[in-house]
Amino acid sequence: MLMEYLGPVVDGCRAALNVSLEKAHDLHKMSEDDFEQHISSVPDSFRDLTICLKSTDTDDEYSIVFDRGKTTVYDECFEPDVIITGDNEILVAICDSDPKLSPPEVLGTSLKVSASDNLDIVEGLGFLCYPSLLRVAQSGVDPSSLLSEDADAVIMAAASDLVVKMIRKWIDVSLKVDDRY
C-alpha cells in the first residue's frame, strides 16, 4: 500500500536525475508529450532491485529483493544493486517500524548508501524512507474527521518530503567527498 505513494515519488526523482542539464534549463519549453515521455523513460522503482544491508560491526547482512512486485528477504547478500552499510544498531533503528532515527540525520555519517548507478542509489534512499512513512500512515486520521479525505495527500506529501530530503543529503555528502579529492 505505502509503495503506491513511495514508488511514484522515487520514480519522479530518478527521472529528474536522468535529465541533462541542457534539458533541465529548457524544461519550461518542453511539450507535455515530451515531458511525459521523459518521465516514463525510467522503469518503475522497486520492481527489479536487490538492496543489501551490511552491518559494519558484525558479520550480519541481509538482502531485500524486489522482483516484479514480489518482495523477499534473505539472510545473505548476493548480486546487490544497492548496498546500505552502518553499525548494526543504526541499521536496526533505521528499519524499525517506529524509527528513533531520521535517515537524513545519519546518512553520510553512520549510514552509507552505495551502488554503481545513481538511479539505484535513489531507490535505496527511497527504501530508507519507508519506515518513517509507515509511522506517518499508522498515526492515521480519524475517518469521521474532515481531514480523512486529505489522508492520501498527507501521506504523499510526507513521502515527497522524506525522499527529497534524503536525495539532498546524499548529494551534499557526495559533493563533500568529491571536494576531498
In this predicted model, which residue has the larger pLDDT, 85 or 143?
85
In this predicted model, which residue has the larger pLDDT, 144 or 70?
70
Give the pLDDT mean for 30-37: 79
Q: pLDDT tens across 159-177, in order?
A: 889 999 999 999 999 888 6
What does the alpha-carbon distance between residue 33 and residue 124 come to, in Å, rounded to a whole number? 29
Give the pLDDT mean for 89-118: 90
Other beta carbons within 10 Å of 23 = 14
pLDDT of the residue at 149: 62
Q: pLDDT tens across 120-158, in order?
A: 999 999 999 988 888 877 776 555 555 556 777 778 888
Give the pLDDT mean for 9-16: 85
Does the pLDDT value for residue 32 go beyond 70?
A: yes
Give the pLDDT mean for 34-47: 80
> Confidence class of residue 40 from pLDDT cuts 50, 70 and 90?
confident
Does the pLDDT value for residue 18 go beyond 80?
A: no
Segment among 24-33, 87-96, 142-151, 160-169 with least mean pLDDT: 142-151
Q: pLDDT tens across 41-57, in order?
A: 788 888 899 999 999 99
Contacts 24+ apart (CB under 8 A), 133-136: 133/2, 133/5, 133/6, 133/158, 133/159, 133/162, 134/2, 134/97, 135/97, 135/98, 135/99
